[in-house]
Amino acid sequence: MVLSHDEQLKLKRTVTLKEIPHWKVDSLYILTGYRRPQESWRGCLQSIYAFVHNETGNIHTHLWGGILFLYFLFTADPSKLTSGPTTWVDSAVFSVFFASAIFCLLSSAAFHTLLAHHSREVVSCCNAFDYVGIIVLTDGSFYPLLYYGFFCEPKTLALYASTTVFLGSATAFVVVDPKYAEPTHIA
């Protein structure tokens, strides 16, 4: 019995660069180890643990990093980090940082997991979600710095915090535009 190319492809766990759709090519130097296109979200999720592929490291480091920061969010106590008194604002600025790290890491884990999906629209949406996660973490990591750096300058703090929100939002607006996901805009 001779199998068609599509039937042979379904039996393989990983495929080569030449066997993936052209729109999934991100690097011409990674030649093997790509997951075959998955017809369902379930297939993508099963590939997290089923076998080793190009995205295994990305998925696991981001997934477990997100879980670790989730643990920190609920267990970190700012009062133990200093000998002085702390307020709810101290907890809030660290919570913003931890929450932004969780969002970034888990959105990246989701992107790398769903990168195997056969739908260009799903992959494109997840790619934008991954970039938004990076922007959220970049912005969220500024708040502890701004709060403690400008503690005695509330107007300066408000200016920098507002600027951070504005620039982060503007950046997110740009990166979710599908035209910026084209290879001509990727550095």
- Tell me the binding residues for Zn(2+): 112
Nearest to 45 by CA among 116, 123, 107, 105: 116
Residue 89's contacts (CB-CB under 8 Å, 6 or more residues apart) are: 147
- Tell me the binding residues: 112
Residue 9's contacts (CB-CB under 8 Å, 6 or more residues apart) are: 15, 19, 36
- Three-state DSSP class for 57? helix
Query: Running DSSP on this structure, what letter comes out for residue 110?
Result: H
H helix or E strand, kind and range, residue 129:
helix 120-140
H helix or E strand, kind and range, residue 44:
helix 41-50
Residue 124's contacts (CB-CB under 8 Å, 6 or more residues apart) are: 178, 181
